[in-house]
Amino acid sequence: MEGTELAAFNIISAVGEAKSKLIEAVEQSKKGHENEVKRLISEGNEAITRGDKEHFKLITEDSKNKDVQFSLLLVHAEDQLMSAEIFRDFTNQLVETNLELFKLKEELNK
């Protein structure tokens, strides 16, 4: 495997890891584990960045007329990258709300 196909798989792998980290961050936010949430979001961001860099390489190659091969796999990879970025933005809002709710519940239970 090489070229566009390898790049597509690298993107899919990176953003799949990112989504897993972000989902776990949401779960940890429900439990009030703020430090764990921050770590998981950071790791998710790093994984998305890896996917972005791989995608940028393809765009750069294409702009230099290096004949980037268009495929359904590449479309899928780009779709997964975009959805991970959207999910990251949503996760940031959701974990903030979950952590605030957790703190309020703790206050009420005192």
Neighbours of 60 (CB within 10 A): 11
| pLDDT (tens digit per residue) in 69-87 | 888 999 999 999 999 999 9
- How far is it, in rounded angstroms, from Cα 32 to Cα 7? 37
Neighbours of 70 (CB within 10 A): 10
| pLDDT (tens digit per residue) in 3-61 | 889 999 999 999 999 999 999 999 999 999 999 999 999 999 999 999 999 999 999 98
Domain housing 18:
3-108
Question: What is the CATH number for 63?
Answer: 1.20.58.80
Number of domains in the chain: 1
